[in-house]
Amino acid sequence: MSTMAGTADELEPVLWMDLTATLHATGGIIGIIRAEMELAVGLYRNRANVRFFCLRGEALVEVPGTELDWLLSSENVADAFVARLKKSNRSGKPSRENGFGVMPSHIRNDIERVSQIDTSRFKRFRAGRALLINAMEPGWRGVVRVATAPFVGIGVILLKASTASRAARARLVGQQKPMAKPVVIPPAAFSHPFKDRDIVFSAGFMLNDKERVVERVKQSGTRVYLGYLVYDIILIGSMTRHLYPEYGVTTFQAYFDWMSRNCDFLIYGGQTAQKDSHQIQRERNLPIPPSAAIKFGNNLGVVRERDEDDATVLGRLGLTGKFMMTVGSIEGRKNHETLYRAYVMLVEKMGDAAPQLVFVGRPDPYSSSDLIDTLNRDPRIRDRLIVMQPSDVELDVLYRNCEFTMLPTLYEGWSLTLPESLGYGKLCLCSDVEPLREVGRDLVDYIAPWDVVGWRDRMEYYMINQGSLSSRNARIVENWKSTTWNDCAVALNSAISALHYGDYGLTLSAAHGVPATARPIWMDLTLSYLLPQKGISGVIRAELLFARELYKIEPSIRFFACDRGQAFEIPMEDIQWLFHGENLSADFIQFNQMMNERAAQGIYRSPYMSADTGLRAVATSKLSLLRQGPKLRNIWDAREGSLLVASALPGKWQSWLYKRAVRYNQAKTLSDAPSNDPASQLSNMSLFPDGAIVFFAGIDWTLTALKALRDMPDRGRLFLAHVLYDMTPTITPHLHVIQSPPVYLKFLELVFNTFDFIIYGGKTAQRDATLIQRENGFASPDSIPIHFGGDIIQMDSTIEQDHELLQSLGVTGKFLLAVGTIENRKNHDTLYKAYLTLLARGGDVPQLVFVGGQGWHTGDFMNRITRDDRVKGKIIISRANDAQLDALYRNCEFTLLASLYEGWSLTLPESLGYGKFCLVSDVEPLREVGGDLVDYVLPWDVMGWADKIRYHLDHPAQLKKRERAIKRSWKTYSWADCGRDVYAALQSNADGHFAKLAGRSSSTEISQPVISRASAARRSLP
């Protein structure tokens, strides 16, 4: 018997692994039994306190190591299993550099605005100078006072103005049939070897009656930490259950329900299986235990010495030349029929030049008998399409010598065969389904599962274009890292340890002084609290809603803001409106008005600002006309002062200084050199207690807080988490203000390399981030994609009240609705042109309402649309409050969303939540949200937008049918849902983080977006 590699750790709990499936099996090796054995060997070799058990009668009994030497000392578990049974059957973009353009239109407009305060340039200069002096640190005031207007100095000030303005305006915005006959063992009464807090883990399968006995363990009062491995849920998945016998479906559903109700944790074979399981658990109102997703391994390529060379093996298998291959059991779900049909078409087209095709796998009599009969009788493929079940050695030869592989499956859990192909450096043509995209990423080709012609064409292409095939294979070799079964076992051990310590808080609590229940959360509100805003939209709204929902879950949450690297706690009395108000938009505006009034009295939002009442009196005097005019809510003295000074300069000087300021600002922001700002030099993040979760849901365009966190020598005592809404400034830099992409890339660098956990706004944002990380060498922290809330406050309103609200906006009849910040990326210009096209065609055209604040790069557009008499009174632009927006959604004909790109759309779920059909840009992020409930148009296809708007207006019955489908199929994911999931993810992943620091896990990716929908609170010690 070999010796375990690990050193016993008295604090490490015993992990009991179930080997019932392996020890009861009497037939050939199948996938789940192989996986169980591989994981058992891996855990034995990588964890000190691991023991094994199996079911015997009514007892769960320990299996001594001496009885498992055949397995635990083996180099090949399949050979060991076969030898034991005396059988031999294997059934087994970095962003481009951006130049500096002309001054953005919103800066020009603000300069023009302040120019109207006084016709005297000198008076505007003096008023601006006074405000600038008041905004500065005391050490600088005298300098600026003496040097009244040095061009470089003014450039620096303009820099500060543009930075604050941008920050305020940015809108980032595995089926098996185990042998039923167990070995004959004397019956035993109920007993078990477990103790309190032992971990009990099963990677087997149903049908051996083990679960009934395991449940008795818990009923006996022994507090074990029970976990099961879920390979996949294809037997009960909505897209695949029809492919299996009803008995199997019913049995697995009961097994799945039992696991959900009785397990303390679940391990999934990949994130797709995890996500699909959570969906079924929600639909069936089942508990959702804490979980982690792991990647299964393979040991192909590591084979024993061969007695035959490759040519001999291939000849014996009937292969005489080039060949393609697909590996997997032959059953309905694996979709071999499509490959067969495509291959027949290929042979008909290429003739003798067509390669052979190998089906590696055991036919399933339930779902493949007709296909096998056809394959045996079709003369066109005789000796061309070969079905076989090779040994490991033979399969190794096949992989190394095939041209490429194919995987046309309709759905999977975690594919075992795709990683095998990639591990051999072989291109795989895959079905375009989510589970395979999870594994194959951008290394493989995707084809719609039933697109027979598409499969034929791809086969032909790579057989003809050998250079392209070689290039794809070389890229796979360079970028794919295989996961061995030992790697998988290490990841499994890490996941179980992190989940166990997270729930039980053993050494973790002692090491960090954190209670075993919820960890304290500190949330950053810099964007919405510290920076004055004109109104609420986009990221600001999301930040506030995250804060509101987290407060509902955990009222002890505390909030902070960062002023030039200095963290300070926000007084709760300042933000009570956020938790108890009814109209978020109106409350936010009122809050800003209150804070502006305080600032006018020298009481600032940040304790690190100081007031000079004497100078303020001068500034107030000089700005008396300004104060009497339209209310300005951007009360940063530096910003308004800079605009006033700039307005006193000639236009060419303004542009020149702006460019200088932008360059200076960008260099300063991107620089890692210490700041000359006295406040920044005193960066202080000591506000947060050890073991706290520090959560960010805004965007720090100044990067100062992020740099302060990066430079913290003891930041490991905290769990840093950040929401990233999208990657659009980096993915689509041309759609953002010219200096934003490089700053945003630096922002991403700091977040990725500093933070422990990322919450992405959807899978598209997560995918885009992965690409950016790989291209730029950034770290890739643990992460999850989430959906943001799709609900807004739906008011109790009568028809008369709605009519009044709509009239207040200028709506007088039927109307269409487009919600979103008016900026270049949102593509309002296309909707405007489509609307003009509809007007030109004649007929009844309803009003069009744009709801959103004005963002970047819209000056020319706004100028055109506001001056176009053809759309006056017809296209309405408004910053509607919550009540008005509610009325707009409920009463519109349908909605429009022409965005060129998104992260996770906030407005599309809103529309669907109201049961309203939406006409949407045909871009991947919106398809992620809308599915088949909406209709798509190419973003810039003006005629297409006009045509489809007209169609849906002229076919009200079809529109109503669409709305009924939405109401039937769409389930609004509320901000309360989002808050609960984020809270659970923060708590569980923080536990995993500190477990890693305690040496309890290595490189496992722990993802727990949901703990329980019944209760968002953390589970306390039993």
pLDDT 10s digits, 331-350 = 878 888 888 888 988 998 89
Answer yes or no: is pLDDT of 459 > 90: yes
Quick one: average pLDDT of 271-285?
A: 89
Weakest mean pLDDT among 259-263, 643-647, 703-707: 643-647
Intervals of CATH 3.40.50.2000 along the chain: 313-481, 799-972
- The reported pLDDT for the residue numbered 106 is 56
Rounded mean pLDDT, 196-223: 83
Average pLDDT over residues 177-194: 57
Span 272-287, average pLDDT: 90
How do residues 828-854 score in pLDDT, each as one tens digit? 988 988 999 899 899 999 999 999 888
Dist. CA 113–CA 115, nearest whole Å = 5
At 573 the three-state DSSP class reads helix
Other beta carbons within 10 Å of 150: 11
Average pLDDT over residues 203-212: 76
Distance, CA of 289 to CA of 301 (rounded, Å): 36
More confident call, 609 vs 630: 609
Domain 313-481: give its CATH superfamily: Glycogen Phosphorylase B; (3.40.50.2000)
Spatial distance between the Cα atoms of 489 and 40, rounded to a whole number of angstroms: 8
* Rounded distance between C-alpha atoms, residue 857 and residue 836, angstroms: 21
SS3 assignment, position 815: strand
C-alpha distances (whole Å) from 982 to each of 537, 545, 1011 are: 21, 12, 10
Segment 307-319 shows an average pLDDT of 88
Q: Which regions of 933-1009 does DSSP assign to beta strands (E)? A: 935-937
DSSP per-residue letters across 696-735: E-S--TT-HHHHHHHT-TTGGGSEEEEEE---HHHHSGGG
- 21: tokens are 């499936």
**pLDDT at residue 885 tops 60:** yes
Q: Which residue has the higher pLDDT, 477 or 684?
A: 477
pLDDT for 305:
60
pLDDT tens for 538-568 read 789 899 999 999 999 888 899 999 988 889 9
| pLDDT at residue 696 in the model | 97
Taking residues 146-175, what's their average pLDDT? Answer: 48
Distance CA 783, CA 594 (A): 38
Q: Say which residue, 1021 or 872, is predicted with more confidence.
A: 872
Give the pLDDT of residue 84.
77
The residue with greater pLDDT, 120 or 901, is 901
672 by Cβ neighbours in 10 Å (0-12 / 13-18 / 19+) ranks as exposed
pLDDT tier at 187 (50, 70, 90 boundaries)? Answer: very low
Under the banding of pLDDT at 50, 70 and 90, the label for residue 659 is low
Q: What is the pLDDT of residue 117?
A: 66
Q: Which two tokens stand for residue 499?
A: 């989940």
CA distances in angstroms from 770 to 354, 763, 993, listed in the order given: 38, 10, 20
869 is written with which tokens? 């008499």
pLDDT band at residue 631 using 50, 70 and 90 as cut-offs: very low
In the β-sheet with 782-786, what is the strand arrangement from edge to edge? 566-569, 558-563, 521-524, 693-696, 719-724, 757-761, 782-786
* H-state helical runs in 505-623: 507-512, 538-553, 576-580, 584-600, 613-622
Report the number of secondary-structure helices (H) and strands (E) in the chain: 42, 26
* Nearest in space to 991 (alpha carbons), one of 497, 464, 597, 581: 497
Would you call 294 helix, strand, or coil by DSSP?
strand
Structure confidence at residue 666 (pLDDT): 60
What CA–CA distance (Å, rounded) separates 1019 from 290?
10
What's the pLDDT at 669?
60
CA distances from 419 to 78, 442, 775 (A): 19, 13, 22
Q: For the chain, give the percent of residues with pLDDT over 90.
A: 29
Location of structure tokens 């199929």:
969
- Judged by average pLDDT, the poorest of 642-646, 685-689, 907-911, 954-958 is 642-646
How would you classify residue 560: left for phi > 0, otherwise alpha for psi between -120 and 50, otherwise beta? beta
Q: Does residue 86 register a pLDDT over 50?
A: yes
What integer is the mean pLDDT of 713-737?
86
The pLDDT > 70 percentage for the chain reads 76
Phi and psi, residue 921, nearest 5°: -60, 140
* Residue 1012, pLDDT above cutoff 80: no
The length of the chain in residues reads 1022
Tokens of 894: 């349908």
- Res. 49: pLDDT tops 80: yes
How far CA 188 is from CA of 55, 59, 129, 210, 430, in Å, comes to: 10, 6, 91, 14, 49
Q: Which of 453-467, 626-640, 709-723, 942-956 has the lowest mean pLDDT?
A: 626-640
Alpha carbon distance 684, 383 (integer Å): 74
* Rounded distance between C-alpha atoms, residue 296 and residue 413, angstroms: 10
Residue 9 in this model has a pLDDT that exceeds 50 = no
What homologous superfamily is domain 799-972 in, according to CATH? Glycogen Phosphorylase B; (3.40.50.2000)
- Listed in sequence order, the residues at least 6 apart from 104 whose beta carbon sits closer than 8 Å to its beta carbon are 737, 738, 856, 857, 859
What is the arithmetic mean of pLDDT over 92-111?
A: 48
Q: What is the pLDDT of residue 779?
A: 94
CATH topology (fold) of 15-92+198-294:
Rossmann fold (3.40.50)
Q: Apex CA 809: angle with CA 736 and CA 935, to 5°? A: 55
